[in-house]
């Protein structure tokens, strides 16, 4: 199963006729260019799971790095990640591995 299919499956597992009305998953573009992924963790099995930030490259150097950067962290009960224009699959993969799902 590919990373997008696994993320969809994780989302579906959280939907309990309550969670999805308050929380969710957001994927947006950045003007650097790049991607932003935000996943609400409240009321999920990941809510209190420790996460060591993952990052390489720098957002400030996005134009000169060829888009080779990512940054992932957990803050305020949210998995927050951003990456270069070709890094969406990789940042989804960081989340999935942390969540214990195979990629």
pTM: 0.90
Return the domain boundaries, the chain: 3-98
In tens, the pLDDT along 1-52 reads: 799 999 999 999 999 999 999 999 999 999 889 999 999 999 999 999 999 9
56: left (phi over 0), alpha (psi -120 to 50) or beta: beta
One DSSP character per residue, 4-67 reads: HHHHHHHHHHH-SSSHHHH--EEEEEETTTEEEEEEE-TTSTTTT-----EEES-GGGHHHHTT
Does the CA dihedral 6-48-52-78 come out positive or negative? positive
Please write the tens of the pLDDT for every residue from 47-65.
999 999 999 987 555 555 6
């Amino acid at each position: 199963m590919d990373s997008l299919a696994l993320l969809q499956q994780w989302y579906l597992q959280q939907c309990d006729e309550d969670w999805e009305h308050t929380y969710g998953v957001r994927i947006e573009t950045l003007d650097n260019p790049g991607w932003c992924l935000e996943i609400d963790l409240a009321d999920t099995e990941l809510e209190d799971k420790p996460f060591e930030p993952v990052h390489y490259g720098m957002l400030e150097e996005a134009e000169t790095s060829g888009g080779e950067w990512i940054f992932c962290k957990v803050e305020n009960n949210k998995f927050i990640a951003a990456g270069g224009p070709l890094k969406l699959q990789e940042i989804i993969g960081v989340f999935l591995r942390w969540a214990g799902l195979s990629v």
